[in-house]
Amino acid sequence: MRYSYIKPRRKTALSKDMQLLFTFFSVTLFMLFLTYGFLVFRDYRFDQNHAEILQEEKNLRVGIEDMKVKIAMIENQNILSERVFTKNSVLKDSIHNLFDLVPSRITLSQAKIMENGLILYGVTPNKDIYNFMLQAPLRSIFHRTYSSFYPLDNGWFRFVSTNYIDEEANDEY
Amino acid sequence: MLSKILETLYTKVFINIIIGYTKSIVYTEVVSKGVVVSSDTKEFKTGTLNNEMHEHLKSCISQSPYHYITILDKSVNQGALPTCRDVKNYIDISTLHTVCVDNDWTFYTSQESIKDLKYEYQSVGVDLIFSPFPILVTFFKDKIDTSLSIFALVEEKNISLCVFNNGKLLYAEYLHIKNMKSDDNLMMDTILEDDEDEIALDLDDIDLDDIDADDDITSLEDFGDIEDLSNDLDIEEFSEAQEIVNKEDEKEVSAEDFNDDYNKFLMIQDSIHNFYQDEKYDSEFVEHIYIADSIGVSLDLKKYLEEEMFLTVVVRKIELGEKLSTMAKVEIL
């Protein structure tokens, strides 16, 4: 039962100055904790980004290795293609030279170009023309040259010229 | 939450102020966890808040931030009524502050007096203001619930009077003893007149024949030898004369007390007379009066009440400061 005419004033252990001081410290502490929280969050995000970057770096390194392998392969292919191209050029030149080598009076019906040899099939009016005009240059190119003649009905000869270059001799060069 | 924890750590200081007309009492209690650690009573010869009292209150306040200042209301316009709902039938409550007790009776004071108290003590603040009626009720709780009696709290210049019938308030009045100088004189005159009558009556009873005239003559003869007295004897007589003067002063003081008590008696008598006469109150014949004595009333008041009003008088000493403190603790703790 309340008997007093008035209610007691609200009491506090903290004076106005103390309240101000506590408010100030509270705000300061709040700001410190806020900053700490922000830094912790940033640290967490930094670690997360660092891990992501490391993973990316790892992936990139794997990619680089793959690419290096691919580059090596492409370079090999390039070398191979160049070699093929060179070979083709050489072959082309060889064929061109071969056709330049063949005199107009001799007609070639077939030519087999091998790695170490050349087999020519054709028709010649006579053996001399063949021997002087075709066999002589062939002999200068190939180490071994074998010729076979088959007479045709019209007096001409079908010939088969088999020419080889010795590998040992090739290696010397 | 934090304030509750802090509150338990600190001691509480209950400062109870009883304002009088010539002196004020400040009773201080230091309470820790519901137990009174120390108490102190200091008396100031002032009826208002003076510098000395202000300094004392400041020093009490500085003991703990949890201090509560309690004041006993001395407003002349206070009282109590035997109802809570029909208060308007008795008084105009527009300017009053009322408190209903147990939905049965109401005590009130003027809002102005509360404002005045707050204003006077604004430098130290006021937490609780108590009416003397609930103090009286709690003090005589055992008698109020079981008897039809008058209950009076007698202070220096105030009497809080109420009539209870088995816990039911029938009548209450706050009596203020005015500085009735002229009335006092009048009263004293009447008393003296009464005394003169008594003397006259005594004179009638005196048998003149019984008086031995010779004795008186010898005494007069003794008085005639006054010139033979030495200087030492003169001094002795002078000192006796001084004693006579002092005795006269004492007589004046006792006369003042006598006047006060007689005034108190008259006011109680008037108030009870009003209770019997006023139709607003359910009057019943009362045979007992319980007096809560805060100042030390003389036996004269008791004698007047017993002889003039035929009341059975019981006087119980009350320490108002302690009682105020108890009530404050009930409100706060």
Considering CB atoms only, which of B3, B125, B129 is closest to A12? B3
Dihedral of CA B48/B52/B56/B58: which sign? positive
Res B150: pLDDT: 92
Q: Is the pLDDT of residue B201 over 80?
A: no
Can you tell me the distance from the alpha carbon of B102 to that of B84, in angstroms, rounded to the nearest whole number? 9
Lowest average pLDDT, out of A52-66, A123-137, B35-49, B256-270, goes to B256-270
Please list, in sequence order, all residues whose beta carbon lies within 8 angstroms of the beta carbon of residue B95, skipping any fewer than 6 positions away.
B110, B111, B112
* Mean predicted lDDT score pLDDT of chain B: 78
pLDDT at A72: 94
> B64 to chain A: nearest residue by CA?
A13
From edge to edge, which strands make up the β-sheet containing B79-81? B79-81, B105-110, B96-101
Answer yes or no: pTM beyond 0.80: no
Residue B254, pLDDT score: 55
Q: What are the structure tokens assigned to B240, written together? A: 């006796």
Q: What's the pLDDT score for residue A87?
A: 83
- Say yes or no: B99 contacts chain A, CB-CB below 8 A: yes
Cα separations in angstroms, A77 against A69, A82, A91: 12, 8, 20
**Chain B interface mutation, best of A4, A7, A18, A19, highest count of B Cβ atoms under 10 Å:** A4
- Cβ contacts of A14 on chain B, cutoff 8 Å: 6, 65
Q: Is the pLDDT of residue B195 over 50?
A: no
- CA dist A63 and B101 (Å) reads 92
Is the CB of B130 less than 8 angstroms away from the CB of A3?
yes
Between B67, B129, B134, which is nearest A6 by CB? B129
ipTM of the complex: 0.73
Q: Give which of B329, B246, B233 is closest to B11, Cα–Cα.
A: B329
Phi, then psi, of B291 in degrees rounded to 5: -110, 125
Span A71-84, mean pLDDT? 91
Is pLDDT at A101 greater than 90 in this prediction? no
| Beta-carbon separation of A6 and B126 below 8 A | yes
For residues B311 and B283, give the distance between their C-alpha atoms in angstroms, rounded to a whole number: 16
- For strand A117-124 and strand A157-164, is the pairing parallel, antiparallel, or unpaired? antiparallel
Alpha helices per DSSP H over A16-166: 16-101, 127-128, 136-141
Nearest of A154, A81, A91 to residue A124 by alpha carbon: A154
Burial readout B163-172 (b: 16 or more C-beta within 10 A, e: otherwise): bbbeeebbbb
The answer on pLDDT for B89 being more than 60 is yes
Question: Pick the residue with more confidence: A79 or B184?
Answer: A79
pLDDT in tens, A140-172: 888 999 999 999 999 999 999 999 988 765 555
A105-172 classified as CATH 3.40.50? no
Other Cβ atoms closer than 10 A to B57 = 22
CATH code of B2-72, in short, is 3.30.420
Q: Give the C-alpha separation, B175 to A22, whole Å.
A: 52
pLDDT digits (tens, 9 = 90+) for B277-318: 888 888 888 899 999 988 887 788 888 888 888 889 999 999
Find residue B98's DSSP bridge partners.
Answer: B108
CB-CB contact of B152 with B289 (8 Å) = yes
Residue range B120-168, pLDDT digits in tens: 999 999 999 999 999 999 999 888 888 899 999 998 888 999 999 988 8
- Using CA coordinates, name the residue in chain B closest to A13: B65
Q: So where are chain B's domains?
A: 2-72, 79-120+138-180+259-316, 188-250
- Segment B63-85, tens digit of pLDDT: 888 999 999 998 888 999 988 88
**pLDDT for the residue numbered B255:** 57
Element (H, E) at B61: helix B51-61
Residues of chain B numbered 304-333 and touching chain A (CB < 8 Å)? 327-328, 331-332
More confident residue, A77 or B230: A77
Q: Is the pLDDT of residue B110 over 90?
A: yes
* 3-state helix/strand/coil string of B264-298: HHHHHHHHHHHHHHCCCCCCCCCCEEEEEECCCCC
Chain segment B171-182, per-residue pLDDT in tens: 999 998 875 444
- Give pLDDT, residue B22: 83
Using the predicted structure, report yes or no on whether residue B258 has a pLDDT greater than 70: no
Mean pLDDT of A21-33: 94
Put simply, the answer to whether B327 touches A3 (Cβ < 8 Å) is: yes
A80 CA to centre of own chain: 12
Interface of B with A in 227-256 (CB under 8 A): none
Q: Do domains B2-72 and B79-120+138-180+259-316 have the same CATH topology?
A: yes
| Distance (Å, whole) CA B247 – CA A165 | 174
CB B272, CB B286: distance < 8 Å: yes
Mean pLDDT of B199-215: 42
What is the average per-residue pLDDT within B12-31? Answer: 91
CATH homologous superfamily, domain B79-120+138-180+259-316: ATPase, nucleotide binding domain (3.30.420.40)
Burial B39-55 (b: 16+ CB within 10 A, else e): eeeeebebeebeeebee
